[in-house]
């Protein structure tokens, strides 16, 4: 059973998460030959302040 972990900075809408899940499932099913119903996807939304790039914390888009 494939497990996919996706981390994003900030929040996504339910529609965005649904579309991402459908697209990722389609690609894995096609390329890895796995049944779609066996693919599990975790989407973690992380606050910008909990992510740093180049030693500097990210800021939320305005």
Residues acting as catalytic residues: 2
Q: How many CB atoms lie within 10 A of CB 53?
A: 8
* Chain-centre distance for alpha carbon 33: 21
Token pair recorded at residue 60: 């939320």
């Amino acid at each position: 059973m494939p497990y996919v972990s996706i981390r994003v900075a900030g929040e996504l809408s339910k529609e965005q998460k649904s579309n991402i899940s459908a697209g990722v499932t389609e690609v894995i099913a096609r390329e890895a030959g796995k049944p779609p119903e066996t693919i599990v996807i975790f989407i973690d939304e992380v606050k910008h302040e909990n992510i740093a790039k180049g030693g500097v914390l990210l800021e939320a888009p305005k």
